[in-house]
Amino acid sequence: MSRTFAAIFIFVILGHSEAQQPSVPSQPAPISVHASEGPGARFQFTKVDDNLRAEADAVDAQYEKRGLVLHDPDLQAFIDTVGNRVLGDRPVLDKVTYRFLVLRDPTVNAFAMPNGSVYITTGLFALLENEAQLAGVLGHETAHIYERHPYLENRSIRKKTVATEIIAAAAACVPGGYATWLATAAAANVSTLLMVESVYGYSREMESQADRDGLAAMTVAGYDPHAMAVAFELFDQDRTLEYEPRPTLYHDHPDLTKRRGDAVAFADAHTPANARIGVRTDYVHAVAPAIVSNINADIESRRPRSAVACATRLVDAFPGDPQHQVLLGDSYLALGAKTTVPTPDELTSDGEGKQRKQVLKMTEQEEQKALLKTPEGQATLKENQTKAERAFLAAIESNPQYALAYRDLGFLYQDESRFADAATNYTHYLQLVADTSLDRLRIARRLAEVEKLQAAQPH
Amino acid sequence: MNLRWRMFQAFATAIFVCISASTAFSLNLPITSFWAQRKVTSGKFPIHSACMMPPQAHLARIGMKGAEGMSKESEAWAATLEDMVESHLKSDGIAINSAINPLSSGASNDEILSVASQIQQKFASVLPLMRRKPGGIEKSAYTLGDQVGMLPCSENSDILVFVQGVGQVVTEGRAATTLLFGGPDEDAVLFITIVDAKTGEIIGFIQVYPGDASLLNAEDAFGQKLYQQFADMNIGSARKNAKAQGH
């Protein structure tokens, strides 16, 4: 029964959004117009709005308490600089404190809360290529806040008295990142499903308006709006790399091709001279902590192809960094018998169905087992293991004191039943790592296990 | 002959529809139940100590104009649910630790939170599949990996316990409308997932639906059913205690 209600719930939410008439593209207004006449300045709060804001504050607190917000001083300084540039001369809104926060979540997404908190997932940081694209995303999200979309959408839904069983929605199985699951579950917590709307996208009309305002804001801040058009292309390409059980805001809401077309049209008409895009390597350098966190999250969330793509990007940007080499090796290990990019078969509609089945009906181990039944799967596993070994050895060459390289090389050798080599590397790791390391006990257990297996192995 | 054949077809179709509908219905019924590995139920995996992961709970209040959040109440409810599960485990002779307690590891709070968040990430990726096919637990199908061993409490614990609750309460007006015309009513579900603290394997999963008591009083709503589930699962001395009390 709960699944049925969940399906109805999702249908109601999506259906409601889809039912809106698409807006006719209009000439984008310059940001200065909003500064004096925007809806933010005229908005009258009701008790319902105050409750909604209090709920958003509570969600902020929950994210912090659960360690889902990534805190890195340099990254924070970078995102604050870009965010404040995009905010520009917008007046300070009543009951809004803009905060730009990094959420540890591998899904590609960003969302804004009515209280002014803007969350960008590590997945989105890892996908973007330069500062201007980030400015475009922040422009879009701050526009939602500035236009008071969360409050307006909340009021609109309340008027419709959507009768849904919240419990069914919150308890529904929504695959994705942990934070996304929490956000969906928090639909039960936040007044009239605000969270689902804000995380998965508002009505088509509101999204189009946020696109227009975001493009205007980034342009006024001196960024090239063409970058946002390229970002839309990236969102579209990303969809082909991993199966996405739930499409997020930037995937189909509204259609990405149309959004890209609108962005290009705007950019062609409004790009200022000396507009900046930002150097690609500077961006990667600035957001590296988010990418590193995201690779780990990708690996934990069955997104090994994204992990390999991200890690490769880091290694290309910083060839001598052992941490990135190890992450690349870990990503190849997680990939197992899967190819780094989808095969042509996987991109067909049949292939997509198969991928859906693999994600929703099979565990990671079952999926790998199924792949290893074919000679192609076995060959791919071998190839990925070789690449992983190469990456770990490169890390050791860059820095022979880098403990994690030995540990993960041990993991690889243990998988390959090379127990003596695994034992050597685990021992090396335990010699190098600090006594306070949380991983000591786990590796000591593994060492004992491989030594036992080694002793049992015929010579 | 033709008529007989048609009658048979109609009869077979009716039977098929009835069976399908009842199976689908029963699969989704809110019935308190548990799934566990045989080593747990048989007592071959003795449980003497547990490490509690931070609880998660979400409550909503449904009124005449949709739902309203209950963030503060949710936090309090999460703590109440955790306390209730802890007290049941303690009464079954199981020692309790907190997963985010650094103990004597010397690790910082940030480091432990980061590890806990990584484990939660993995749990979130396994949970949908596990809820879809809980029978897989008996076949050791689900694991969080031996990274659970990075939590300081795992050294001296047998299991890791995840407590999750989702619930809705209704306003008086909504309750009256529901009584007359049907609609949402007070409801909740409590999920408890038990993980091997050394290997990360999921060895047990319990879903408990409340009795008639108010959700906010966790012990009254879930206590008795949880007591029975722990006894059936053979957690700690639960089965022995239940037998001693004549259950």
Give per-residue pLDDT as tens, A227-268.
Answer: 999 998 888 776 667 776 555 545 545 678 888 999 999 998
Are residues B36 and B9 part of one domain?
no
**Predicted pLDDT at B242:** 74
Nearest of A382, A164, A402 to residue B168 by alpha carbon: A164
Are residues B84 and B18 part of one domain?
no
Interface-testing mutation among A167, A361, A367, A447, with chain B (most B C-beta atoms within 10 A): A167
As given in the structure block, the two tokens for residue B138 are 């008996």
The structural domain count of chain B equals 2
Are residues A309 and A179 part of one domain?
no
Helical packing angle, A204-220 and A149-160, nearest 10° = 170
CB of A404 within 8 Å of a chain B CB? The answer is: no
Coil, strand or helix at B53: coil
Tell me the mean pLDDT in the region B134-163. 92
Backbone CA torsion sign across B14, B20, B23, B28: negative
For residue A278, tell me if it sits in a domain. Answer: no
A433, exposed or middle or buried, with CB in 10 Å at 0-12, 13-18, 19+? middle
CB of B61 within 8 Å of a chain A CB? The answer is: no
Q: Which residues in B lie closer than 8 A to residue A442 (C-beta atoms)?
A: 146-147, 149-150
Are residues A298 and A442 part of one domain?
yes
Does the pLDDT at position A169 exceed 60? no
Are residues A157 and A75 part of one domain?
yes
As given in the structure block, the two tokens for residue A1 are 């029964």
B52, B163 contact by CB (below 8 A): yes
Are residues A379 and A255 part of one domain?
no
Nearest of B207, B160, B161, B164 to residue B77 by alpha carbon: B164
Residue where a domain stops, chosen among A238, A270, A302 = A270
**What is the rounded CA–CA span in Å between residue A287 and residue B18?**
57
Are residues A219 and A79 part of one domain?
yes
Q: Which residues in A lie closer than 8 A to residue B142 (C-beta atoms)?
A: 363
**Predicted pLDDT at B72:** 75
Are residues A234 and A107 part of one domain?
yes
**76-105 in A: which are within 8 Å (CB) of B?**
104
For residue A298, tell me if it sits in a domain. Answer: yes
Domain span including residue A304: 284-456
**184-213 in A: which are within 8 Å (CB) of B?**
185-193
- Parallel/antiparallel/unpaired status of strands B95-98 and B49-52: parallel
Residues 6+ apart with CB under 8 A from A32: A89, A220
Are residues B39 and B21 part of one domain?
no
Are residues A246 and A311 part of one domain?
no
Are residues B114 and B215 part of one domain?
yes
Tell me the mean pLDDT in the region A74-81. 96
Q: Give the residue on B whose Cα is nearest the Cα of A47.
A: B68
Cβ atoms < 10 Å from Cβ of B211: 12
CB of B200 within 8 Å of a chain A CB? The answer is: no
Nearest of B26, B32, B71, B27 to residue B192 by alpha carbon: B32
Does the pLDDT at position B27 exceed 60? no
Are residues A262 and A304 part of one domain?
no
- What CATH number is given to the structural domain containing B103? 3.40.50
Are residues A185 and A51 part of one domain?
yes
B153, B168 contact by CB (below 8 A): no
**What is the rounded CA–CA span in Å between residue A378 and residue A133?**
39
Yes or no, beta carbons of A365 and B141 under 8 Å apart: yes
Are residues A185 and A333 part of one domain?
no
Residues 6+ apart with CB under 8 A from A47: none
Does the pLDDT at position B86 exceed 90? yes
A59, exposed or middle or buried, with CB in 10 Å at 0-12, 13-18, 19+? buried
Are residues A318 and A206 part of one domain?
no
Give CA angle at B53 (A447, B56), nearest 5°: 145
Are residues B37 and B19 part of one domain?
no
Nearest of A206, A164, A209, A186 to residue A29 by alpha carbon: A209
Domain span including residue B18: 1-28
Residue where a domain stops, chosen among A223, A241, A270 = A270
Are residues A255 and A129 part of one domain?
yes
Read off the pLDDT of residues A385-436 as tens digits, 9 standing for 90 and up.
Answer: 999 999 999 999 999 999 999 999 999 999 999 999 999 999 999 999 988 8
Which residues on adjacent β-strands are paired with residue B52?
A: B98, B161
Are residues B154 and B104 part of one domain?
yes
Are residues B172 and B83 part of one domain?
yes
DSSP code at position B93: T
CB of B125 within 8 Å of a chain A CB? The answer is: yes
Yes or no, beta carbons of B71 and A439 under 8 Å apart: no
**Predicted pLDDT at A283:** 95
Tell me the mean pLDDT in the region A140-162. 79
Are residues B163 and B72 part of one domain?
yes
As given in the structure block, the two tokens for residue A61 are 């607190």
A366, A314 contact by CB (below 8 A): no
Q: Which residues in B lie closer than 8 A to residue A104 (C-beta atoms)?
A: 117, 121
Coil, strand or helix at A340: coil
Are residues B39 and B22 part of one domain?
no
Nearest of B193, B181, B129, B10 to residue A301 by alpha carbon: B129
**Predicted pLDDT at A28:** 40
**What is the rounded CA–CA span in Å between residue B129 and residue B133?**
6
**What is the rounded CA–CA span in Å between residue A366 and residue A166?**
33
**Predicted pLDDT at A39:** 62
Are residues B181 and B80 part of one domain?
yes
Are residues B176 and B95 part of one domain?
yes
The structural domain count of chain A equals 2
Residue where a domain stops, chosen among A236, A270, A304 = A270
Cβ atoms < 10 Å from Cβ of A398: 17
Examine residue A254 and say whether the peptide bond preceding it is cis (omega within 30 degrees of 0).
yes
A131, A277 contact by CB (below 8 A): yes
For residue A277, tell me if it sits in a domain. Answer: no
Read off the pLDDT of residues A184-210 as tens digits, 9 standing for 90 and up.
Answer: 444 333 333 444 445 555 777 888 889
Read off the pLDDT of residues A110-131 as tens digits, 9 standing for 90 and up.
Answer: 889 999 999 999 999 999 999 9
Read off the pLDDT of residues A426-447 as tens digits, 9 standing for 90 and up.
Answer: 999 999 998 888 899 899 999 9
**From the list B28, B66, B127, which residue is nearest A192 (CB)?**
B66
Residues 6+ apart with CB under 8 A from A300: B118, B121, B122, B125
Yes or no, beta carbons of A363 and B142 under 8 Å apart: yes
DSSP code at position A177: -
Yes or no, beta carbons of A178 and B121 under 8 Å apart: yes
Query: What's the gap between Cα A255 and its chain centre?
Result: 19
For residue A276, tell me if it sits in a domain. Answer: no
Are residues B15 and B101 part of one domain?
no
**From the list B71, B113, B133, which residue is nearest A189 (CB)?**
B71
**287-306 in A: which are within 8 Å (CB) of B?**
296-297, 300-302
Query: Is 0.85 exceeded by the ipTM?
Result: no
| pLDDT-based confidence at residue A142 (cuts at 50, 70, 90) | very high
The amino acid present at B34, given as its one-letter code, is F
Nearest of A302, A309, A319 to residue A245 by alpha carbon: A302
Expressed in angstroms, the distance from the first to the final Cα of chain B is: 58
CA distance B42 to chain A (A): 25
CA distance A317 to chain B (A): 26
As given in the structure block, the two tokens for residue A345 are 């078969």
pTM: 0.80
Query: DSSP for A405-448?
Result: HHHHHHHHHHHTT-HHHHHHHHHHHHHHS-TT-TTHHHHHHHHH
- What CATH number is given to the structural domain containing A329? 1.25.40.10
